[in-house]
């Protein structure tokens, strides 16, 4: 019984620490201090690697500092955790497009669009890449 209470106390303390780290990381993000925010997100993930919001935000930070493969990895983790799957899929597509990996970009844009056919940005990117392929294949 004592162990059960101890575990509950530890969990509550970890959640308080995570909340403080999240506030600090969000403040850094808002101030466009992406590298510093990533350090805080890393600390949160060390404490709890099941929080999709942390991977999502860290993925955005990585994209902002041009580390697209790391952004892809974090947004794929969001998809695995079933967190903001549509947005994460779009962000993976965007990073792949920037890396000029059009087949993978198209795959993830279509995934985002399939989850929400009202996603105009995903539809625009799909159309752009498909038109690009058509231009290449017609030359």
The whole-chain average pLDDT of the chain stands at 92
pLDDT at 6 over 60: no
pLDDT of residue 107: 98
In the prediction, which pLDDT does 135 show? 83
∠ CA 128-133-137 to the nearest 5 degrees? 150
Identify the pLDDT of residue 5.
44
pLDDT recorded at residue 79: 98
Q: Are 18 and 44 in contact (CB under 8 A)?
A: yes
Tell me the domain boundaries of the chain: 2-138
pTM of the entire predicted model = 0.88
Mean pLDDT value across residues 54-77: 98
The yes-or-no verdict on residue 8 having pLDDT over 60 is no
82-129 tens-digit pLDDT: 999 999 999 999 999 999 999 999 999 999 999 999 999 999 999 999
Task: Assign domain 2-138 to its CATH superfamily.
Answer: Tetratricopeptide repeat domain (1.25.40.10)
Q: Kindly write down the DSSP assignment for every residue of 66-104, as one continuous string.
A: T-HHHHHHHHHHHHHTTSSHHHHHHHHHHHHHHTT-HHH
């Amino acid at each position: 019984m004592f162990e059960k209470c101890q575990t509950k106390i530890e969990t509550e303390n970890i959640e308080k620490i995570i909340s403080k780290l999240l506030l600090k990381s969000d403040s850094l993000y808002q101030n466009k201090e992406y590298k510093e925010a990533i350090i805080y997100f890393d600390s949160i993930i060390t404490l709890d690697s099941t929080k999709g919001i942390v991977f999502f935000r860290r993925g955005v930070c990585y994209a902002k500092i041009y580390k697209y493969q790391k952004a892809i990895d974090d947004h794929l983790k969001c998809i695995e955790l079933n967190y903001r799957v549509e947005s994460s899929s779009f962000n993976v597509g965007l990073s792949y497009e920037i890396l000029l990996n059009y087949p993978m970009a198209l795959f993830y844009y279509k995934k985002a669009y399939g989850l929400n056919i009202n996603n105009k940005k995903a539809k625009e990117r799909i159309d752009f890449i498909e038109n690009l392929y058509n231009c290449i294949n017609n030359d």
